[in-house]
């Protein structure tokens, strides 16, 4: 910037010559300079003032617009937003194989309170107790008078209860819609279905999550909105299940057993048509798990799936099948059955002495431990283990209840010769009844593997071959003779040609060794014997038939008649036509006229 000099020499000189005071010039210039500077500042502040004004206009405008936008937007219920988005209700139904409802949902309401809005907490507590007798009045009054803003009172209440609560007229008592899982058949198939509980709870909905059984195994599928409530169809037949449970329950009571289980399986597809474990429970109201004692005594324990037992002589069928399939023996081949069979320090005995030799067929019919052990020695440990493994008896079953993987078979880690012998007649190996059912289905259906399943299957190709068609056929006729002339004589059901193999296993004592008076009686059966359609496994835990002079515990006297009763009831329901014996030609000729 070029500054104008305060004392320009030319003007000073001329002023001096004119006799004026040259300082006046300097003062005038100085004043001018200050004024210019002042103006510059004012000009600058003016611009800044305009900027300030602009900023204020914009700010006020933004606030005003935002306020208007907020005001014209819909108010959102503040509580609904926090939860509704996260909890998806509507769990898919569960149906039986014919489309009957096993599990569905009903709309109920939950009850909650806003204690701060309560007018009379104590009176409310008293009136609530009249509706819900399980509420403790003092505790409830204390909770309602407490400082919380929100209290859950009841997870699900019926419409009548809701009306009654409504009639109290308290503004602080509120209802939220609740979808509740309902099992319309009560206890029926309770172990299969398992039950549900409330998961995350919001005011407007609650998560229903599976607790056990199919409900838990298929939890994600049932809750997945992608499937749009598509129902889950099980292989269970509700009417068969009902008949089977009723017969099994009666049998359990009659035989004084403390528990029982039954598995009815399609011999080809592996579909479990019915599965029961007693004692059972109502999935609508699951009991609490036992806090002490043996978990396997709880009603929640699924004996058919979770329970692994030494199933005894029922295993002999596997040994005989393998020996025949390997071509080691024929049904008529003679086996040494002279007892006792000594092996090292072990000794194997039969139920009674069957003489020095028996045919293989007789070994099965009479259930000779010694004969079966001899067969297993012919087979050898390695092949036996491999065979049982191929049958799926050494792994957990793929059955679709959450308890499935807990039924892990137990067998000796070192498969010694003595193990081979005991395993040949079902001792030293523990499996679940479902394992046994799948194994039996495989050896009697013509020799192809089946995988147990609880889901209704479309017609599927046959599984991998386990034994030959012929072996399977021979085995069927041998096992038919077990019923007609062997250990399972009480199992014959007229018209349905039942076949099978009994198993009476002494129960192992927790102190080591075996109980003398506690057995697990098993009847592994299939019917009709000529063309097996279904496999039925019945086990009774500690049965005792006290009608005779001496208590009888063998499977032939306990599990077999129960199984027979079940077959008598369910076979017609399964649509199996009874074989009617041809009427004797009695010499009458029909008159044609």
Partner 1 sequence: MTEMVHGPLPVEVRDPILPRWWRTVDRWTMASVLFLFIFGLILALAASPPLAERNNLDAFHYVHRQAVFGGLALLAMTITSMMSPDTVRRWATVGFGCALLALILLPIFGTDFGKGATRWYSFGFASVQPSEFIKPVFVVFSAWLISASFEPGGPPGRMMSFALAVVITGFLALQPDFGQASLILFSWGVMYFCAGAPLLFILSMAAATVLAGFFAYNYSEHFARRIDGYMAADVDPNTQLGYAANAIQEGGLFGVGTGEGSVKWSLPDAHTDFIIAVAAEEYGVLMVLVILGLFAVIVLRTLARLVQERNLFVRLAGTGLVSMFGVQAMINMGVAVRLLPAKGMTLPFVSYGGSSLIAGGIALGMILALTRSRPQGALSAVMRGY
Decide whether 27 or 470 has the Cβ nearer to partner 1.
27
Closest CA to 91 of 214, 274, 275: 214
Q: How many CA atoms lie within 13 A of 575 on its CB side?
A: 3
The Cα-based distances of 388 to 321, 380, 392, 420 in angstroms read: 11, 12, 6, 11
Token output for 235: 């292989």
Decide whether 49 or 464 has the Cβ nearer to partner 1.
49
- The CA angle 136-139-144, to the nearest 5 degrees, is 115
27 lines the binding site for partner 1 (CB under 8 A): no
Distance CA 503, CA 554 (A): 8
64 lines the binding site for partner 1 (CB under 8 A): yes
Binds partner 1 (CB under 8 A): choice among 3, 18, 78, 588: 78
271: β partners: 453
Task: State in angstroms the smallest separation of the CB of 40 from partner 1.
Answer: 9
Decide whether 4 or 347 has the Cβ nearer to partner 1.
4
101: β partners: 95
Distance CA 407, CA 309 (A): 10
Decide whether 75 or 133 has the Cβ nearer to partner 1.
75
Task: State in angstroms the smallest separation of the CB of 7 from partner 1.
Answer: 17
563 within 8 A of 491, measured Cβ to Cβ:
yes
Which position has the token pair 């194997």?
348
Binds partner 1 (CB under 8 A): choice among 73, 511, 583, 589: 73
Task: State in angstroms the smallest separation of the CB of 9 from partner 1.
Answer: 24
Task: State in angstroms the smallest separation of the CB of 36 from partner 1.
Answer: 10
28 lines the binding site for partner 1 (CB under 8 A): no
71 lines the binding site for partner 1 (CB under 8 A): yes
Distance CA 304, CA 537 (A): 9
1 lines the binding site for partner 1 (CB under 8 A): no
Binds partner 1 (CB under 8 A): choice among 5, 16, 23, 68: 68
70 lines the binding site for partner 1 (CB under 8 A): yes
Q: Which residues of 183-231 form beta strands (DSSP E)?
A: 196-201, 206-210
Near partner 1 in 35-54, by CB under 8 A: 35, 37-39, 41-46, 48-50, 52-53
Binding mask 80-99 for partner 1 (x = CB under 8 A): -xx-----------------
Number of shown-chain residues binding partner 1 (CB under 8 A): 37
Which position has the token pair 């014996």?
581
426 within 8 A of 313, measured Cβ to Cβ:
yes
346 lines the binding site for partner 1 (CB under 8 A): no
Alpha helix stretches (DSSP H) within 391-525: 417-424, 433-444, 469-485
Non-local (6+) Cβ contacts of 446 within 8 A are 462, 469, 472, 473
Decide whether 35 or 336 has the Cβ nearer to partner 1.
35
Task: State in angstroms the smallest separation of the CB of 520 from partner 1.
Answer: 60
Task: State in angstroms the smallest separation of the CB of 82 from partner 1.
Answer: 7
Decide whether 76 or 591 has the Cβ nearer to partner 1.
76
63 lines the binding site for partner 1 (CB under 8 A): yes
546 lines the binding site for partner 1 (CB under 8 A): no
Distance CA 275, CA 236 (A): 8
- Strand, helix or coil for residue 4: coil
Distance CA 421, CA 271 (A): 32
Decide whether 59 or 98 has the Cβ nearer to partner 1.
59
Read out DSSP for 325-347?
Answer: HTTS--TT-EEE--S-EEETTEE
119 lines the binding site for partner 1 (CB under 8 A): no
Chain contacts with partner 1 (rule: CB under 8 A): 34-35, 37-39, 41-46, 48-50, 52-53, 56-57, 59-60, 62-64, 66-68, 70-76, 78-79, 81-82
């Amino acid at each position: 910037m070029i500054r104008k000099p305060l004392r320009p020499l030319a003007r000073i000189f001329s002023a001096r010559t004119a006799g004026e005071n040259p300082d006046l010039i300097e003062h005038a210039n100085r004043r001018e300079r200050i004024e210019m500077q002042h103006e510059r500042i004012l000009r600058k502040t003016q611009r800044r003032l305009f900027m300030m004004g602009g900023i204020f206009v914009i700010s006020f405008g933004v606030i005003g617009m935002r306020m208007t936008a907020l005001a014209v937007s819909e108010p959102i219920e503040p509580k609904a937003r926090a939860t509704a988005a996260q909890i998806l209700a509507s769990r898919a139904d569960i149906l039986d194989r014919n489309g009957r409802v096993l599990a569905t949902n009903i709309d109920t309401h939950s009850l909650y309170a806003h204690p701060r809005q309560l007018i009379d907490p104590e009176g409310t507590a008293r009136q609530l107790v009249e509706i819900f007798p399980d509420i403790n009045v003092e505790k409830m009054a204390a909770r309602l008078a407490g400082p919380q803003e929100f209290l859950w009172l009841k997870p699900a209440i019926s419409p009548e209860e809701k009306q009654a609560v409504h009639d109290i007229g308290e503004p602080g008592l509120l209802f939220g819609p609740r979808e509740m899982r309902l099992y319309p058949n009560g206890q029926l198939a309770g172990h299969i279905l398992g039950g549900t509980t409330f998961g995350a709870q919001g005011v407007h909905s609650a998560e229903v999550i599976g607790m056990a059984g199919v409900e838990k195994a298929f939890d994600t599928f049932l809750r997945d909105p992608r499937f749009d409530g598509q129902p889950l169809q099980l292989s269970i037949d509700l009417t068969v299940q009902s008949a089977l449970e009723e017969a099994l329950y009666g049998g359990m009571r009659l035989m004084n057993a403390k528990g029982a289980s039954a598995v009815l399986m399609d011999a080809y597809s592996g579909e479990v048509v019915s599965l029961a474990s007693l004692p059972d429970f109502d999935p609508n109201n699951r009991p609490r798990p036992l806090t002490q004692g043996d978990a396997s005594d709880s009603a929640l324990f699924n004996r058919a799936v979770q329970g692994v037992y030494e199933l005894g002589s029922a295993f002999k069928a596997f040994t005989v099948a393998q020996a025949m399939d390997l071509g080691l023996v024929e049904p008529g081949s003679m086996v040494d059955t002279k007892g006792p069979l000594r092996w090292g320090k072990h000794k194997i005995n039969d139920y009674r002495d069957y003489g020095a030799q028996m045919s293989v067929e007789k070994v099965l019919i009479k259930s000779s431990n010694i004969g079966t052990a001899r067969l297993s020695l012919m087979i050898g440990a390695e092949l036996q283990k491999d065979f049982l493994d191929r049958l799926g008896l050494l792994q957990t079953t793929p059955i679709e209840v959450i308890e499935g993987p807990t039924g892990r078979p137990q067998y000796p880690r070192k498969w010694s010769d003595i193990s081979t012998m005991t395993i040949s007649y079902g001792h030293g190996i523990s499996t679940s009844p479902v394992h046994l059912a799948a194994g039996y289905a495989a050896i009697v259906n013509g020799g192809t593997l089946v995988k147990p399943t609880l889901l209704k299957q479309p017609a599927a190709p046959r599984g991998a071959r386990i034994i030959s068609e012929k072996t399977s056929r021979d085995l069927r006729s041998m096992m038919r003779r077990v019923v007609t002339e062997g250990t399972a004589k009480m199992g014959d059901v007229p018209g349905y040609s039942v076949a099978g193999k009994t198993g009476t296993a002494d129960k192992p004592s927790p102190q080591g060794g075996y109980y003398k008076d506690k057995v697990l009686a098993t009847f592994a059966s299939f019917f009709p014997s000529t063309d097996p359609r279904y496999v039925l496994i019945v086990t009774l835990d500690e049965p005792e038939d006290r009608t005779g002079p001496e208590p009888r515990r063998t499977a032939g006297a306990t599990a077999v008649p129960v199984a027979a009763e079940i077959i008598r009831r369910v076979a017609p329901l399964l649509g199996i036509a009874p074989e009617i014996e041809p009427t004797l030609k009695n010499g009458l000729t029909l008159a044609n006229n």
